[in-house]
Amino acid sequence: MRMSKLLTFTLPFALLISLVSPLQSNAFVIPASFQITGAGYGHGVGMSQMGARSKALAGENATSILNYYYKDVALETVDDTKILRVNIGNLLTTARMLTRTQGASLQIFSGDIGDAQGVQPLATIPAMSSLNFSILGSTVIPSITTGKNISSISGSRMFTVRWSGTRYLAGVDGIMTLSHANRNSNYRHGQVQIRAVKAGSLGFRLAITNSVRLADEYLWGVSEMPSFWPIAALEAQAIASRTYALSKAGVIRTACDCDLYGEITDQKFLGYAKEIEKKWGVFWKAAVTNTAGQVLTQSGKPITAWFGSSSGGITETAFNAWGSERAFTQSVEDLASLDPTLNPNFYQWERTINQSITATAFLLPDVVNLEILNRNPSGTVGMIRATSSNGRQISIRGEAFRSRTKIPSAYFNLVGVQNAVEPAPSPTP
């Protein structure tokens, strides 16, 4: 009953696709683009962050928020001192590291030395000198730049870098700056590994990972919720982030040499900038401390505690989004996501998808027509079908369409054409 009432409320937002150019009667006209309107941001599975904020503002605590979004879970306290390997640079051709902290230094070691102490470094790099990495075949090539002088280090498949003031290397508290692809990020904790990984047709590329302790060094740098939000929402986020990380820990993925990606593929890991965020960083660190060791479990194991920014009014299940049943996910009302005051950017949105992106999403040469085949109870698109000018039809999940076209969510609909309603076929890769 509650869900059907909400669907009536959200259908005006449910959201809309139209072809820029219609099909003509005797010839296929390939439209240049497709217009889409929708609501929500993200996959909609698990905790809605907008919903968590709203509930916190209404006086609910973190436990109440989490129990609303995750079904039949227990809140347990566990040992969360595990070391995680977090990818902070993926499939790179070059990268640079340095510390600008006066009196601090970097050290480079051959291979992955883990927690070992007393290992002789290949070189010690003083502040303001840079440690550079490039890839040659399957070999990582390091070099050191000091002023105008460049010195080389023999290449290898993998290196470890430490900096002073960490639990790995004594000395002045240093900040390590990693630069790659016109991006600079600062890291205060742990150590870094640089490895050559196979990247399909690209050949070998650099994978850079930060080895950090989950309990503090990792969670302090997770940037998935604004630090100025109510403390109960931040605590719910800290528990969800800790739980998600533990569910992924212990299995190193060869593609990234990591337990977790430091991007929204897993969780956004901003590093030192998050914990020292002016005025507000202390509140996020407090949320981590207040919930120390707390994780969500089902049958004694940490759940994959998915979360997202907002939904189209009802959260989604893992089965409807990805086809994988997870008993702890459920569809619940999420009216805060449709509140223009709380969610001004995504309570509704409009996007234009060009022809090439649409065709690539369906692995077709072109797309002349789109049809929504069915819709999930949450309002997300279940299956969407594209027809090419050669008559070929491909159907994919609405969540796959969202991911491949980079639209904000799978809460959308067709505009100006009759929706097709028929049994959903099996997804085609």
User: Is residue 342 packed enough to be buried (19+ CB in 10 Å), middle (13-18) or exposed (0-12)?
Assistant: middle
Q: pTM of the predicted model, to two decimals?
A: 0.89
Structure letter (DSSP) for residue 379: S
Would you state the structure tokens that stand for residue 293, as one six-digit string? 């060791």
Would you state the structure tokens that stand for residue 315, as one six-digit string? 């959260």
Per-residue pLDDT of the chain (429 residues; tens, 9 = 90+): 434 333 333 444 334 444 444 444 445 789 999 999 999 999 999 999 999 999 999 999 999 999 999 999 999 999 999 999 999 999 999 999 999 999 999 999 999 999 999 999 999 999 999 999 999 999 999 999 999 999 999 999 999 999 999 999 999 999 999 999 889 999 999 999 999 999 999 999 999 999 999 999 999 999 999 999 999 999 999 999 999 999 999 999 999 999 999 999 999 999 999 999 999 999 999 999 999 999 999 999 999 999 999 999 999 999 999 999 999 999 999 999 999 999 999 999 999 999 999 999 999 999 999 999 999 999 999 999 999 999 999 999 999 999 999 999 999 986 754 344 343 344 444
State the angle between helix axes of 398-405 and 355-362 in degrees (0 to 180), rounded to the nearest 10: 130
State the angle between helix axes of 62-69 and 231-248 in degrees (0 to 180), rounded to the nearest 10: 50
Give backbone dihedrals phi and psi of 68, rounded to 5 degrees, phi first: -70, -40
Q: Which amino acid is at 17?
A: I
Q: Residue 307 contacts by C-beta under 8 Å, 6 or more apart in sequence?
A: 46, 47, 48, 49, 69, 224, 237, 240, 244
Residue 254 and residue 264 in contact, taking contact as beta carbons nearer than 8 Å: no
Q: Measured between alpha carbons, how far is 229 from 238 in angstroms, rounded to an integer?
A: 13
Mode of pairing for the β-strands spanning 369-375 and 381-387: antiparallel
Q: Measured between alpha carbons, how far is 287 from 302 in angstroms, rounded to an integer?
A: 19
Give backbone dihedrals phi and psi of 411, rounded to 5 degrees, phi first: -90, 85
Residue 28 and residue 389 in contact, taking contact as beta carbons nearer than 8 Å: yes
